[in-house]
Each structure stands twice: as structure tokens, then as C-alpha cells.
Amino acid sequence: MKKVMALFLAGVFLFTLIGCGQQKPSEPSDESQQALNTTSSIATTSPVVTTTTDPREAQLQAEYDDIFNSAKSDYDQQNYEQALVEFKKIGSDYWNWIGVQNMIDDTTNQYRNAIIQEADAALTSTGVDAALEIINKGLAMLPDDQTLIDKKSTYDEYLPVDLMSLKPFIDDMSDFEGSYTDSMGNTYDQCIKAFMDGSKTYIINRSYTNFTGVIALASNSIKDSYYAVINVYGDNQLLFSSQKFYKGTRPQNFDINITGIDELKIESKIYYQSWVVSSPQLILGNLELSKKP
């Protein structure tokens, strides 16, 4: 009996020792708990928006909100010009001023690209005047935009040049210059009126692609048996020869390809038996040099 009791007491003692050796779960440290609290706060807290207790200021911010939303709607519809107008109405005291500036920058880029694309298409389909009109519209909105300024300079090179504004390199043509009327009653300002054989040579430095104008019989050319012709040369090569102009001949328009030409020569040939006041006289009007894209 004593032996059994001893064994029982030994088992109780051993059980107590094992139970005392177990550890309680560790509590989180102060730093860990703080990190958990911070993460929870970030996940559940809404962004802070500047508020004011001043009713007038609150009304102003509300108006700016409306303008911003309206401008953003225009932007989304690719109405970039109107969007820029609206965004620029918002003052720097707007709570989302940085957002406004970002939208202005982005809208400016989109507007500029749209203007250039539209102008390039107009240059090809309609001509330089239409292209410049579009670029000038863009510059009215963005007057200091260097990209648009440079584009305008490029388009300016396509504007036609009045040949009469250039001084001939060689001039041995017997002619008059001024405003004259042809035999059909058409009047030409700043034209050449040739009444004898001769020529004018201009240095154009390969800067143009087309030479255009009209040739007509002067109003005082009344003889039936006489006629006159205009020839155009480029670097001593014949590029164009007009019809023979007799009494009653209608005006002839011309468009000559002068791409790569350095020296442009205009030659008048007057065919008559002897010089008289009524000998054939030709008018060369609307003379323009142009560069096509």
C-alpha cells in the first residue's frame, strides 16, 4: 500500500512540473501595435479635402468645382479649345490647383497637336491660306507656343511671291510696267506690257516649284496680220511657249513647273513687218512664284 501511494504522489509532482513549464502566448510589442494601428488608419480614412467655414470661400470653391467638371467634360469630348478656356478660368486659390495645372498642360498638348494635324491636312487639300488660317487660330489661343510659331514660319514659305517684287538679274525687254487692260476688258495691276522682242531674267535660287500667270493681248493691238508669243526658259531650257496672239485671241493662263530652276527667263517675240503703234503688244499679269508642299 505504501508503495502504491508513493507512485501516485510522484505522478502528481511530475504533472505539476510539466504544467509550470508551459509559456503564455507573447503580447505584441508597443512598436508592433503602433504599426498595426497606423495601417488600419490608412486603410479606413478618406482623403482629406480642404474645407472652410467662410461661406463666400465655400461658394467660390463650389464654383471652381463646377468649372473644372465642365472643362473636363469638354476635354473628354476632345473639345480642347473650349476646355482650355474653361480651365484657365479657375484661380490659383482652388483647392485642386495642382490638378488644374496638370490638366492645362495636357490639354495644351492635345490642342496643339490637333491644330497642327488640321493645318497640315488643309495645306495639302486646300492650300497655304487655309493652313495659315488654322495656325493663326491656334496662336490666338497659344500666342507664345514656339511649336506653332515655327510651324507658321514653315507655312509662310509656301506663300506665293509676286514676280514684280523681284528685280531682274538681266533686263533687255522693251516693255512698260504698271496697270493695263487687255483686249477683253480685263485689267491687271502691276503687270508687264511687252511691245518688242526682249527678255527678263530672274535669279530664283531653286526656291520655287511653280510659275503662274496670264498672257493677254493688249487693248490697243488691233492689226489682224501681226502676232506675238511669250517663251519661258529655266536655266536656258525652254519650259513653255505660249499660243500665238493675234487680234481677238483670248487670254491664256499658265502654270509652269520650275522645280530646281535657278535662272528664270521670260522672252517676248513680236512678229510684224515694221514697227508701228498698233503692233501686237502682250500683257503678262498675275505673275507669281510659289512653292507647293
Q: What are phi and psi of 91, to 5 degrees?
A: -80, 160
In a domain, residue 41? The reply is no
Last-in-domain residue among 99, 130, 156:
156
185 has a pLDDT exceeding 50: yes
Question: C-alpha grid cell for residue 68?
Answer: 473644372
Q: What is the pTM of this model?
A: 0.67
pLDDT-derived band at 275, boundaries 50, 70, 90 = low
**Looking at the structure, do residues 63 and 151 belong to the same domain, yes or no?**
yes
User: Could you write out the three-class secondary structure of 182-216?
Assistant: ECCCCEEEEEEEECCCEEEEEECCCCCCEEEEEEE
In a domain, residue 47? The reply is no
**CB of 138 within 8 A of CB of 145?**
yes
In a domain, residue 140? The reply is yes
Domain range holding 121? 55-156
Sheet with 237-241, side-by-side order of all strands: 170-171, 198-203, 263-271, 227-234, 237-241
Question: C-alpha grid cell for residue 63?
Answer: 464654383
**Number of structural domains found in the chain:** 2
Mention every residue, 6+ apart, whose C-beta is less than 8 A from residue 271. Answer: 226, 227, 228, 229, 280
**Looking at the structure, do residues 90 and 117 belong to the same domain, yes or no?**
yes
User: Could you write out the three-class secondary structure of 66-103?
Assistant: HHHHHHHHHHHCCCHHHHHHHHCCCCCCCCCHHHHHHH
How many angstroms separate the Cα of 284 from the Cα of each of 22, 33, 208, 281?
117, 96, 19, 10
CATH label of the domain that carries residue 79: 1.25.40
**Looking at the structure, do residues 145 and 168 belong to the same domain, yes or no?**
no
pLDDT tens across 128-171, in order? 999 999 999 999 999 999 999 999 999 999 999 999 999 999 99
Last-in-domain residue among 93, 128, 156:
156
In a domain, residue 250? The reply is yes
In a domain, residue 189? The reply is yes
**Looking at the structure, do residues 165 and 149 belong to the same domain, yes or no?**
no
CATH label of the domain that carries residue 272: 2.60.120.1060
**CB of 257 within 8 A of CB of 177?**
no
**Looking at the structure, do residues 206 and 127 belong to the same domain, yes or no?**
no
**Looking at the structure, do residues 121 and 240 belong to the same domain, yes or no?**
no
pLDDT at position 17 is: 39
6 has a pLDDT exceeding 80: no
pLDDT-derived band at 24, boundaries 50, 70, 90 = very low
The whole-angstrom separation of Cα 113 and Cα 197 is 54
What number is the average pLDDT over the span 116-124? 96
81 has a pLDDT exceeding 90: yes
**CB of 182 within 8 A of CB of 221?**
no
The whole-angstrom separation of Cα 42 and Cα 240 is 82
**Looking at the structure, do residues 78 and 167 belong to the same domain, yes or no?**
no
In a domain, residue 80? The reply is yes
Give 245's strand partners: 228
The whole-angstrom separation of Cα 210 and Cα 239 is 11
**CB of 109 within 8 A of CB of 129?**
no
Mention every residue, 6+ apart, whose C-beta is less than 8 A from residue 141. Answer: 81, 84, 111
